A = this chain, B = another copy of it.
Amino acid sequence: MTPSKDHLPEEIREKILEAARERFLVYGFNKTTMAEIAKDCEMSAANLYRFFDNKLDIAVTMTCSCLADEESSLSQVIDNFEKSAAEKLRDFIFATLYYNHKRSSETPHLSEMVNAICQGRMDLVEQHMNHKIQILTSLIQAGNDSGEFAVSSPEQTAEAILTATIIFNLPTLTPLFSLETLEKKAAGLTELLLKGLLKK
């Protein structure tokens, strides 16, 4: 029988996730052992498997909440009623850039985790991308509604913007450039994109 992980105390799951997070951030995914996580939680390694399928599953759960964080902070950006659609797009792009750059620079072992996730759980990445497309689509639609933008196909445009800004989304590419360089790229790109979006 495959024992379901539902109905198990959520607080213990959280405790495990927190212990794993600290280990993963400091020592990396590979160098962290299940035994260490278990010791931090004052339980046996075997018991971890009642709460998670395996080590990767812990990382996946952490990653999901990170991605959800990013998504919700990006959603906040476009819900800011005090800003124009153009400013929101700029904020969206820079928020993406800063979020990923911060993660990359503060987490020396991030790419390790990213690699682990990308083998076998590419669906998470796709889901995240789709969510971003949704957010961008409503940003554009709001811009259309307010008369600021004149975009005929918001969703297709959202996809194009995501394609254009992929350099700010890939934790593998971000570390190749300095923050200053990335900011310049983001500024130039935003300017160009806006020229195409704004009503003439």
Q: Which residues of A contact B (CB under 8 A)?
A: 156-157, 159-161, 163-167, 170, 173, 185, 188-189, 191-197, 200
Contact = CB atoms under 8 A, between A and B. Distances in A.
Contacts of A170: 173
B167 A188 contact: no
Contacts of A163: 164, 167, 185, 188-189
A189 B162 CA distance: 9
Given A163-B167, A166-B166, A194-B196, 9 more contacts: A159-B185, A159-B188, A161-B192, A164-B165, A164-B189, A164-B192, A192-B196, A196-B196, A196-B197
Contacts of A200: 200
A165 B160 CA distance: 10
Interface of A is mostly: helix
A196 B196 CA distance: 3
Contacts of A193: 164, 192, 196
A106 B197 CA distance: 38
A179 to B, nearest CB: 15
9 contacts: A156-B188, A160-B192, A163-B164, A163-B167, A164-B193, A192-B196, A194-B196, A195-B195, A200-B200
A108 to B, nearest CB: 20
A161 B167 CA distance: 12
Nearest to A190: B160
Contacts of A165: 164
Contacts of A167: 163, 166
A189 B157 CA distance: 8
Contacts of A196: 192-197
Contacts of A197: 192, 195-196
